[in-house]
Structure 1
Amino acid sequence: GVKGYPAYEAGMKSVEVLYSINGTEINNGSTFFLAMNKTAAGENVVVEYYRYENGTFENRSVSMVLADKYEYYEKYHANKNDEEFRGKGFIGLSTINMGINPIPADYYPHRLAHPLSSTKNFFFYVALPFAGLSPFPDGFTAIYSTPLPSSIFWPLANTFYWLFWLNFAIGTFNVLPAVPLDGGYIFKDGIASITRKIGRKMKEEKVDRISSSVTTIFSVIVLLAILAMLVIPRIRALLA
């Protein structure tokens, strides 16, 4: 929860499984936002959720007075604010699409156990950190049985996953068309091959000069793109 806002002040923690707001069933992010859009700032709502504690899920209920969504966005994310937010209730929570979803119990284990069975499964596997599922949170690990004690299995699973992820990230970075990466040299050889086919009588020195120039241009573009991804969000954060 966001510090200073209703959910945080009511004692809610991360990885709570929220399932009801004022009696409205919440089973995914969409139903959560739909329910919140029906509320107003200053309204008192009852939130029901499960908390994983001491190895079990505890059913909890808490009452809270909603903040103003417009005021929150104006303060923290002014560039994303919208007049439609004015007067809307704001609870101060972010969600991930897990919760009490109407999906088979083996949905996540199947995808995690067979990441190469389909393109969708592979991208799901790679994107776990962005979905808040790596390292696997307690509320997630408590749902499934494991072949080893949980205190051993899940740390091992997290360790091996991050070894895979780091290798995947390094490998992907290495194929970028920028020298001195391997992808840059492959790209350069490809440009040289195309240049030779276009100019069959062209001297090798000129072919090499053209391929080097094109590769250098692409290398600079790749470098600028990476720097932009790193720098621009920070500049926006400073200006917000």
Structure 2
Amino acid sequence: MHMDGEAGVKIPIYPILILSILLLYGILPLWAVIALSGWYLSLLYLEYYGYLEMWNLERVLGIVLMIRTSRGRVFLEYISKNRKFWRLFGEFSIWLCFLVMFGVVFLMIFAFVSSMNSPPQGSLPATDILFIPGVTSFVPFWWPALALVFTLLIHEYSHGIQARAHGMEVKSFGLLVAGPIPVGAFAEPEHMDMNMAPRRERLRLFAAGPAINLVATFIFLVILGFVSTGFVASNPGIHAIAIIDEGGADEAGIMPYDIITHVDGIEVPDYDSFSLQMDSLDAGDIIIFTVIPYSAEEGEWGISTEIPVTLGDKRQYYLDQCEGDVDCLSETNEVLDSYGIEEGEAFLGVSYPRSGTFQTDQFSVIFDDRYSSLEKIVIVTLTPLSMLGTPMSYDGQTMNIHERMMLEVDDDFILSPLGTGTVLSLFDFIFWLIWVNFLLGFLNLLPIIPFDGGHMVKDGTHSILSIVMRGSNPLRVEKLAGSISGLTTIAMLVVVVIPILMLIV
């Protein structure tokens, strides 16, 4: 279906209808729909008058511009010279990706079952189901957009390196953009080479993209850990995220993010020293806390002051939450006994007390001698998963904005000449490089065509069936492998899409 314009340009209305639906259901805001419509009409104009072909560009999927280039081929030939190494990396990629794929499928099925058993009560803005820098509520524009370009480039370049390492020709590389936003990238191997390549080699090629993103995730995680070691607290001490009503801190007037620097005259520059000092006190003690008050309106800390605080009883506080319920009291007593919380233990009445460098300490673990090698490996392995929720929790920020203002660069740190603001910006960029690389690698391993994981499942299934059905007609094996791959794609789409729909409907 087309509409004929005055200049003879045929305008397919399907993309316009799709944009209208996205606007109607709130998936894209009005300004984004207007911008994409203008972009779409501009592409049609340039395509009709031959400019796109002249510039070696191509319009695909309606509003997406495919930017081709062959400039990277010289570097590709250079970097892929060591074919033995890259073939070994391809083999490693297969095992890594199938291992992670099992984890991805498990998490998706777990999320699906959880959604069925306990439907989410709240709703997610429709714009948040797509990862679009500047549009998704928890994804700002600049750092995520730059991280996305880099991530897409190394992903596709890794495919290209595997192609060359196995003797396949690569026609071109390119980037897919919708306006200023990168939405994909591609390496274009010769179609005939791909079809004729052994399935093991194709598996290596498909696996190389997600694998390089996962490897890059942990390389950047180490770099982020190093950058994090350079931060210190502007005012060493501890602070609380929230104050418990009618607790000692609340009655004394201590507020969230107020920095406690001394307890009864003893300096407490971090959580460990604060905890040690509190353990030496008893419920009912009246203790002088030295506090630097925080003004949320002005976003800054005031002058240090001394505040007397009457400490509460930690065990009694938790028992009081039961409000006399016998079963609750019995269960709570058991839990308190298991944690060794006894009657008379001092309780300040604050939630989540932590050091001023808490936000960066969680990344500098790899350089912390207090942890064993095994503990570091476990923490670093799980950190990317925990990072996925950080921008959602902090409105698109890489850390709590109040705690961010508590940081400064240590004068002895190698990057200190850059200043605190620049090093924090570097922290942000590396954070988003980790976030985007992990998300792209993770999602690309969903066993859904056309994702790399879907192609891997199809070729992997074919290889297994070729062994199990040895002697059978190759066309029958090919058809069965395709059927299994198709059913897997449909099943995973159901598992992935239904929980998302439950969040936005």
TM-score normalised by structure 2 residue count:
0.31
Q: Does 1:86 align with 2:331?
A: no
- Secondary structure (helix, strand or coil) at the match of 1:62 reads strand
Over 3 Å counting, the alpha-carbon distance change for 1:196 and 1:11 in structure 2 is same
Over 3 Å counting, the alpha-carbon distance change for 1:141 and 1:23 in structure 2 is closer
Asked if the contact 1:178/1:216 (under 8 Å) is kept, the reply is no
Q: How far, CA to CA, are the matches of 1:180 and 1:11 in structure 2?
A: 58
- Matched letter for residue 352 of structure 2: S
Q: How far, CA to CA, are the matches of 2:314 and 2:263 in structure 1?
A: 16
Asked if the contact 2:449/2:455 (under 8 Å) is kept, the reply is no
1:179 Cα shift?
Answer: 3.6
Q: Does 1:38 align with 2:292?
A: no
- Matched letter for residue 19 of structure 1: T
Q: How far, CA to CA, are the matches of 1:10 and 1:95 in structure 2?
A: 16
- Secondary structure (helix, strand or coil) at the match of 1:64 reads strand
Asked if the contact 1:17/1:99 (under 8 Å) is kept, the reply is no
- Matched letter for residue 94 of structure 1: Y
- Matched letter for residue 354 of structure 2: I
Over 3 Å counting, the alpha-carbon distance change for 1:141 and 1:20 in structure 2 is closer
Q: Does 1:2 align with 2:243?
A: yes
Counterpart for residue 171 of structure 1: 440
Over 3 Å counting, the alpha-carbon distance change for 1:163 and 1:89 in structure 2 is same
Asked if the contact 2:287/2:309 (under 8 Å) is kept, the reply is yes
Over 3 Å counting, the alpha-carbon distance change for 1:32 and 1:186 in structure 2 is farther
- Secondary structure (helix, strand or coil) at the match of 1:206 reads helix
Q: How far, CA to CA, are the matches of 1:161 and 1:10 in structure 2?
A: 41
Over 3 Å counting, the alpha-carbon distance change for 1:127 and 1:174 in structure 2 is closer
Q: Does 1:134 align with 2:399?
A: yes
Over 3 Å counting, the alpha-carbon distance change for 1:174 and 1:42 in structure 2 is same
Counterpart for residue 115 of structure 1: none
Over 3 Å counting, the alpha-carbon distance change for 1:33 and 1:41 in structure 2 is same
Q: Does 1:68 align with 2:326?
A: no
Over 3 Å counting, the alpha-carbon distance change for 1:175 and 1:62 in structure 2 is farther
1:164 Cα shift?
Answer: 7.0
Asked if the contact 2:285/2:310 (under 8 Å) is kept, the reply is yes
User: 1:61-103: per-residue Cα shift (whole Å, max 9, x none)?
Assistant: 2111122222333438967932221221111242233269xx9
- The 5-angstrom pairing of residues 94-109 of structure 1 reads 94-98=352-356
Q: Does 1:206 align with 2:451?
A: no
1:207 Cα shift?
Answer: 2.5
Counterpart for residue 258 of structure 2: 16
Q: How far, CA to CA, are the matches of 1:190 and 1:29 in structure 2?
A: 53
User: 1:136-165: per-residue Cα shift (whole Å, max 9, x none)?
Assistant: 2177268579x9xx9xx9xx99x9899878
Counterpart for residue 271 of structure 2: 29
Over 3 Å counting, the alpha-carbon distance change for 1:195 and 1:169 in structure 2 is same
1:189 Cα shift?
Answer: 3.0
Over 3 Å counting, the alpha-carbon distance change for 1:127 and 1:59 in structure 2 is farther
1:59 Cα shift?
Answer: 0.8
1:18 Cα shift?
Answer: 1.8
- Secondary structure (helix, strand or coil) at the match of 1:40 reads coil
Over 3 Å counting, the alpha-carbon distance change for 1:196 and 1:136 in structure 2 is same
Structure 1, unaligned stretches of length 5 or more? 108-118, 228-240
Q: How far, CA to CA, are the matches of 1:178 and 1:56 in structure 2?
A: 51
Structure 2, unaligned stretches of length 5 or more? 1-241, 323-327, 365-376, 410-415, 500-505
- Matched letter for residue 206 of structure 1: L
Q: How far, CA to CA, are the matches of 2:276 and 2:430 in structure 1?
A: 35
Q: How far, CA to CA, are the matches of 2:406 and 2:272 in structure 1?
A: 24
- Matched letter for residue 207 of structure 1: A
TM-score normalised by structure 1 residue count:
0.57
Q: How far, CA to CA, are the matches of 2:431 and 2:357 in structure 1?
A: 24
Asked if the contact 2:445/2:454 (under 8 Å) is kept, the reply is no
Over 3 Å counting, the alpha-carbon distance change for 1:43 and 1:63 in structure 2 is same
1:2 Cα shift?
Answer: 2.9
- Matched letter for residue 95 of structure 1: P
Over 3 Å counting, the alpha-carbon distance change for 1:50 and 1:185 in structure 2 is same
Q: How far, CA to CA, are the matches of 1:194 and 1:23 in structure 2?
A: 71
Q: How far, CA to CA, are the matches of 2:303 and 2:466 in structure 1?
A: 70
Q: How far, CA to CA, are the matches of 2:463 and 2:318 in structure 1?
A: 52
Over 3 Å counting, the alpha-carbon distance change for 1:161 and 1:50 in structure 2 is farther
1:209 Cα shift?
Answer: 4.2
- Secondary structure (helix, strand or coil) at the match of 1:177 reads coil
- Secondary structure (helix, strand or coil) at the match of 1:85 reads coil
Q: How far, CA to CA, are the matches of 2:355 and 2:406 in structure 1?
A: 16
Asked if the contact 2:294/2:301 (under 8 Å) is kept, the reply is yes
Asked if the contact 1:7/1:93 (under 8 Å) is kept, the reply is no
Over 3 Å counting, the alpha-carbon distance change for 1:68 and 1:212 in structure 2 is farther
